[in-house]
Amino acid sequence: MKGRASGFPVGRWVTLCAVAAGLLLVFQYSSVPLRAQEQKPAAGQPSEVKPEAPQPVKAPEAKPEPKAEEKKPAAEQKPGAAKKEEPEALDNDSCMDCHTSDILKQSPEERAENVVVADKPQPPAKKPPYLFGELSLAISMKKYKDGVHAETACVDCHQDIKELPHAQRVARVDCKKCHEEAVEMTAASAHGKKAGPKEPGCIGCHDVHYGKGSDADVQGWKSKHCVDCHTKYGLDTVAGHAKIYAPKRHLALGCMTCHQGEQPGVHNITPVKTKVAGCEACHTKYTILAKKKVEPVSFWDYVKQVGFINKEVLAKFGYVVGAHRIPALDTIVILVVLGPLALPIFHGGLRILTRRKGPIELPEEKILLHPLIERLWHWAQAICVVVLIITGAMIHWPEKFPGWFQWAVDIHEWFGWATVIVFLIWLVYNLTTKRITHYIPQKGEIPKGMITQAKFYGYGIFKHEPHPYAPSEDNKFNPLQKIAYLQFQVLLMPLLLISGLLYMYPDYFQGFIKAIGGMVALATIHYILGALFTAFLVAHLYLATTGETIGENFKAIVFGYGIKSDHHHQA
């Protein structure tokens, strides 16, 4: 055939071209997704979706690989790099890489190389005058883990540190972020804004790195910390409390005992006394020093107590006047004081019943029994003793006289010193003038004269018998008067005054007070002596009415002259 002989058959060319065109169409449609394949037809809608016109596909552009010298570690890549990573969290171990004991061996220039310095290294930060704990660049992690902040990371407080190395000067820690209530209370206290430039801040009382918990801090808190801090700031704590009684003894109780606000705690120390810090808050039967208040009991149950009330306060703080007393002893003292009242009631009543009928004729001649200085001494001492008795009762039972304790203490001290001066005047005068012999019993007056005088008081006075020992210029007291005055004026009065002075100034006589049994023994002795003088005063006032007339002895001690009787007892 002619066609076959001439070349490649035409039919084969047609067939090859058709196959190639079909393959091209299949490749084209399979490379472009149809809309029907991307979305599912909604319910009730036809499932046929017209395909979008095929778009030509661009091959992704390959990014050039960075040169070897341009590659940097991930930590050094700037923000905005192809892959952004969060900085690693700073822990205490990271901080301790620098803050070891070795940092203290470095020079300021060497330390500056380890931190970020804006301009030039700064001089060391000035520390406050007083720090309660340690504040150093070197931190002991062992001690830190034993403290209250053991579970706290360094950057939890030093929040301005975001990366290492950090700036040379870190910001002052704001404790208020965690301890808001405590900081606000401190700001309103004597240690806050009122302290001005001497404000100590939290580090003045707290060891921030190695401190213990609040309970341990309160238990270990002592007034010495306050005194040490005040001394560093130029404040004399003892001199600042000089107006109160025995300032050193009060300071030993703890500053918070008095300088405490409305709420309990160490953060609200007040600059002045509040109602909590009034003297009667401690010096009373219901003292705030006691953990348990004295519960009210019946009268009989109370007076039967032979030990001190508030025993736990006595054991912890020592004797506190007004807060410590023995109910049974109080009962005995009251009976001893009231006992002499039986004299005017019973003895005086019998005198009234047996009094003379008609006018009483007395001798007209007068003798000088009491010179002026003796009269001035007598009435001065009488006033002092009366005031001391009244104020002493107010001090011993302060809850019976609310609001008067401090006044009573002040007046008691003033009149105590006045009594000392008056007694010394009496002693010097009687020794130099030899009038002390009026107080010394003469021959035959003990015991015979005492018995004779006692018989007169017990029987003869009702029969209107003459006084067995009528007063004279050289012997103005009868035997019973001499014994009483010698006992109270010469013996007990010095003991009362000495015990009172020891009571007023215990800081100066600690050794002597301890030798006699401590403040408990001293207070008990002074209390009993005061009670005896009170009983003596009551008896003395009544016996002064047993002269020739009821008012005769009173006139003599006011004007100095008494009746000259012609009957004198002969021993």
CATH 1.20.950.20 assigned to domain 327-563? The reply is yes
Residue of 200 and 162 predicted with greater confidence:
162
Instruction: Give the residues across from 545 on adjacent strands.
Output: none
Domain ranges of the chain: 177-277, 327-563
Q: What is the rounded distance in angstroms from the CA atom of residue 11 to the CA atom of residue 24?
A: 20
Per DSSP, the residues of 475-530 read: B-S-HHHHHHHIIIIIIIHHHHHHHHHHHH-GGGSHHHHHHTTHHHHHHHHHHHHH
* pLDDT tens figures, 151-171: 888 989 998 888 888 988 888
- CB distance 530 to 388 below 8 Å: yes
Burial of 175 (0-12, 13-18, 19+ CB in 10 A): middle
Please identify which residue in the block is written with the tokens 């005086």.
348
How many other C-beta atoms lie within 10 A of the C-beta of residue 263?
9
Q: Tokens for 503?
A: 């009571």
Per DSSP, the residues of 223-252 read: HHHHHHHHHHTT--HHHHTTTSSSHHHHHT
Per DSSP, the residues of 357-405 read: SS-------EEE-S-HHHHHHHHHHHHHHHHHHHHHHHHHSGGGSTT-H
Please identify which residue in the block is written with the tokens 């046929």.
48
Q: 3-state DSSP call for residue 469?
A: strand
* pLDDT tens figures, 70-121: 444 433 444 444 444 455 678 888 888 889 888 888 888 888 888 888 778 7
Give yes or no for residue 491 having a pLDDT over 80.
yes
Q: 3-state DSSP call for residue 563?
A: strand
* pLDDT tens figures, 410-467: 999 999 999 999 999 999 999 999 999 999 999 889 999 999 999 999 999 999 888 8
* pLDDT tens figures, 467-488: 888 888 888 999 999 999 999 9
Pick the range with the lowest mean pLDDT from 35-49, 171-185, 367-381, 544-558.
35-49
Packed helices 552-559 and 372-396: angle between N→C axes, nearest 10 degrees? 110
- CB distance 89 to 161 below 8 Å: no
Maximum pairwise Cα distance, the chain: 204
Q: What is the rounded distance in angstroms from the CA atom of residue 422 to the CA atom of residue 415?
A: 10
Q: Taking the model in full, what pTM does it have? A: 0.66
Percent of the chain with pLDDT over 90: 36
Phi first, then psi: what are they for 543, rounded to 5°? -65, -20
Give yes or no for residue 36 having a pLDDT over 90.
no
Instruction: Give the residues across from 469 on adjacent strands.
Output: 568
* pLDDT tens figures, 227-277: 888 888 888 877 877 777 777 777 777 777 777 766 767 788 876 554 455
Q: What is the rounded distance in angstroms from the CA atom of residue 523 to the CA atom of residue 321?
A: 8
- CB distance 338 to 332 below 8 Å: no
Task: Encode 2-32 in three state secondary structure.
Answer: HHHHHCCCHHHHHHHHHHHHHHHHHHHHHCC
